[in-house]
Structure formats: structure tokens, C-alpha cells
Structure 1
Amino acid sequence: MPTEARRAFAAAHALARHALSWCAPRIDPSEWRLSARNPHGRPEVSAPRLDADIRVNLSHTDGMVAVVATLTDACGIDIERRADSAMVSRVAHRVLSATELATMRDLDPAARTDQFCRLWTLKEATTKALGTGLRTPFDTIAFDFDDDRNARRADNDPSWSMRSWPASPEHHVSVAVHAPKVDFVVHSLSEELRARNP
């Protein structure tokens, strides 16, 4: 594994352990163990055993790491570097629904690229929460946005909560939790944790 990939892997798992301890404060981050027990490789908590079915999901891309953890509900997260317009043109028709494509046609190129990244990360976060990952055709899961630009499933399924935002000028992150009306709490990686996990 290349050095940068090893660093991202280590950082993602360090952040996951801290996120789990934010959910279960009596457990020290060093006590958590993750394993890929899901058939599609989704990480699951293997130790310690708790009464709650604590869940975690992680993502990393060029220089960025993101993690979501919940006490009981299936969850997924995806962080991506913004795609260039040529890549969006090549793949949008394969991964977006007809309605999503129609909405993107009205946008200028920069906004189209941002919208594509937002939709892609929402789709990947959702399929990760489902435990199916890229095996689920992305064009079968569609999203739209309310007047405040909050993400929601286009089928109005009330059993999902979504959040999507720019993680940096070059990155976008989305979270999906299979539970209604989730109150999301966002933590940033502290300098202390960065220093302990160079």
C-alpha cells in the first residue's frame, strides 16, 4: 500500500475510534476494534461488545478523512474531491437519475460540477449505509433539495436523514443515516489528534 494510502487508512481508523467514543464516552478510543464483517467490506465494530448496536462508517480521499458513528442506526459517509467538468460529462448519464440530469442541465459548468459531487457523495453515503456500496446502481437512488438546499431522497422516504456540505474548497462530504429526523453533530479533527496520528 502506498505511503499516502497508509496514512489515510490510519487517520480514518483513528478518527473512527474517536467518533465511537463521542457516542460511547465511557469507552477509551484505544479500546475500539473494527473489522470488515459486512460481505461488501463495510467496517463494523467488533469490540468492545455493547448493549447498543453502535455503527460506524468512514471515507477518505486525497488529504481528507471523514467518519460517521451512531448508537443504533445504519449510517454511511462519503468524502470526495470535486470532479472536473470533463469527468462529470463522461459519467453523469450513468449514475444520475433522469430528473437529476434534467436539473443539472440548467446549471452553469461550475455549479454543475458542484451538484454532481453533492449527488455522488449522497448516493455513495446511502449505499454504504445500506451495506451494498457500489453494487447498487446509483441511478436508482435519487435526491433533490428543499428551498434551503437541504438534501432529501426524491422518493420522500421519511426513514432517512441526510446532510451534505463542502468540507473544503476542493472537497464535498455527505452523510446518510437510516433513521428519521437525525440531529447531526459535526466534530473536526483536533490538532492534538492530528499530532498523535501524523
Structure 2
Amino acid sequence: MWIAATDEVTALGCLSPEELRRWSRILPREPRRAFAAAHALTRHALSWCVPAVRPAEWQLRASKPHGRPEISAPWPAEHIRVNLSHTDDMVAVVVTRAVPCGIDVERRTDPSTVARLTDRVLSAAESARMHELAPDTRADHFCLLWTLKEATTKALGKGLSLPFATVGFDFDERGQAHRADGDRDWSVRSWRASPQHHVSVAVHAPAFDFVVHKFPEEIRV
């Protein structure tokens, strides 16, 4: 997986005409920059995996009905899965071979939003545990759970159409997350990308090694 701050990725030159059209229609500055950074980082991550293909040569399409990105060309498109996520100030990409994957990056939200959403998006068990936590730790834990849920639903190809409350997580004594329904066919991992950000990845494989790449310098093409 790859993580970068949005201002570390300035590579509009590798985006497709369709991506540039979508980029041009985004008016707020921060979302516009995040969109460009996420799609540029995706293309560079794919080329890191397949050096023979340059970033601008990848052809991506949005699957239906939920818009998950898929590679349509060139070879070996059928063997690669990719997913991306962004906030206004951070982008993240995951690439796997053959197995479905999902990724989500989120900035920790304010306590009032956590209080409003806890009982709506968490399972009953998660909500009960949340209310047992010290108030000053709830926002951080909520951010962790949200990224786990969104990464998993994106890997399933459902995105936000699948109610988050139906995708629950437990944590072992090491703090490692596991599906609460006991489904061990999935691997999930979470990282603190910054003091304010959580990143989670879900892969449809019982065991999977995750490697995190960071881009300390700008990508330019």
C-alpha cells in the first residue's frame, strides 16, 4: 500500500482525459487537489508493481453499480486489483494480485459527530464498547472502526451501500482487528498514518503481508 500527503503528489500529467474532466469539475480547492493526488498515486503505484507500464498508460474504469476502480488495460490487468481513498490532506492506495482489496484513510472527526453517528454505524457490540471508553479516546477509536468498515465494504464491492452496522470488528489482546462474524477468509490491518489519520486495508485472503510505501518527495511526470 502507498500513503502520501496530498501536497506530495503533483502529477496531473499522468491522468487520463476522463480523470482530468472529473478533476476540472471539482470546485473546492482541497477536494480537487486530493482527487488529483489519489489518481496520480494510483497510477504510480501500479507502475511500481509493473515497471514496464508507465503511469499514463494504465486504463482504469469504474465498475458498476458502486464505482470501484478496475483496470481495463494493459496486460496484466486481469491479475491486478487496486483501490484508493483520500481525505482533503492525505491519499492512500492498495494494490494486490488477483484478490479483492479495499482501503480507507480518514481524519479523526470531532466528538459531536462521533456521538451522533456511533449508534447508527456501529454494531450493537461495538457501540456498547464505545460507550465504555473514556470520552477523550472515543473519536480516535471511532475513526479506526470507520476505516476498517469502509475498507471492507469497498473490497466487497459494496461501498457505502452496505450498512456499516452489519460489518463488525473485534480486537485481540494485541489490538489486531478481526471480523466479528468469525470470517477468517479476510485479512485486515490498520495504521496510524499521522497523529490525526487512520488507514485500514482489507484483503480477501486468510493471510496477507502488507508493505507500506511512503512518498517523501513529490512525484512529477
Name the TM tier (shorter chain): over 0.9
1:77–1:173 CA contact under 8 A, matched in 2: yes
The percent identity for this pair of structures is 64
Q: Where do 1:65-76 residues align within 5 Å?
A: 65-76=91-102
Cα 1:78/1:36, change in 2 over 3 Å: same
**Structure 1: which 4+ aligned runs deviate by more than 4 Å?**
none
Q: Which moved more, 1:104-113 or 1:133-142?
A: 104-113
Task: Give the Å deviation of 1:152.
Answer: 1.1
| SS state at 1:9 partner | helix
Task: Give the Å deviation of 1:60.
Answer: 0.6
1:162–1:175 CA contact under 8 A, matched in 2: yes
TM-score (norm 2): 0.84
Q: Where do 1:104-143 residues align within 5 Å?
A: 104-143=130-169
Aligned residues: 195
1:173 aligns with 2:205: no
Note the residue ranges of structure 1 that are not aligned, 5 or more in a row: none
Pick one of 170, 173, 177 that aligns with 1:151.
177
Distance 2:58 2:77 in 1: 15
1:182 aligns with 2:208: yes
Aligned to 2:5: none
Task: Give the Å deviation of 1:28.
Answer: 2.5
Aligned-pair RMSD on alpha carbons? Answer: 1.5
Note the residue ranges of structure 2 that are not aligned, 5 or more in a row: 1-25
Pick one of 119, 124, 130 that aligns with 1:93.
119
Higher relative contact order (CA 8 A, sep 6+): 2
- 1:116-149 CA distances to partner (integer Å, 9 max, x unpaired)? 1100110000010011111101100100111111
Letter in 2 for 1:144: D
Distance 1:189 1:160 in 2: 28
Pick one of 60, 81, 89 that aligns with 2:107.
81
